[in-house]
Amino acid sequence: MGGIAGAARGAADGMGLLKVLGLLAVGVFGVLLTVGCVVNCARDR
């Protein structure tokens, strides 16, 4: 599991801090990428 949900589960399971922060960064990057694509597509129409 990755992304924001993986970070939350990793924090709950006691996973290492760097792994949790890495998963959280991947989740945030995915959200930003998705929002950027939606905004770009909306601007083109």
Please report, in tens digits, the pLDDT of each residue of the chain (45 residues total).
578 888 888 888 988 888 888 888 988 999 999 999 999 999 988
Whole-model pTM: value is 0.74
Residue 41: partners with Cβ closer than 8 Å, 6 or more residues away: none
d(CA 5, CA 11): 10
In angstroms, how far is the first alpha carbon of the chain from the final one?
35
